[in-house]
Amino acid sequence: MRLTVEKKYSIAEARQQLAAIVHEAERTGAVRITRRGQVVARLISEDEFQRLSRRKRRIDWGTMLIDMRGFKFDREEANAR
């Protein structure tokens, strides 16, 4: 599912039209919730949540440790940044 342009709903609209807004999120992937014109939250579909959750890469610590064999840490250099 690809996200389309997210529709915006005020908190008051969200209270009154929750079922329709949930349906919109299911259909498009996400909707924005605003307070006084500023986006304060996003409602995303379960499919979009699962898609975003899968994107996390697992770290292969064994490979990472092998790659860091020549790494030297200089505390003074790090603190100078």
Going from the N-terminus, what domains does the chain have, and what CATH number goes with each? 8-67 (3.40.1620.10)
Instruction: Find where tokens 């992937």 sit.
Output: 29
Phi, psi of 7 (to 5 degrees): -75, 155
When pLDDT is cut at 50, 70 and 90, the band that residue 20 belongs to is: very high
Note the Cα 3 to chain centre separation in Å. Answer: 13
pLDDT of residue 75: 82
Neighbours of 43 (CB within 10 A): 18
Q: Which residue has the higher pLDDT, 36 or 78?
A: 36
Name residues whose C-beta falls within 8 Å of residue 79's C-beta, 6 or more positions apart in sequence.
none
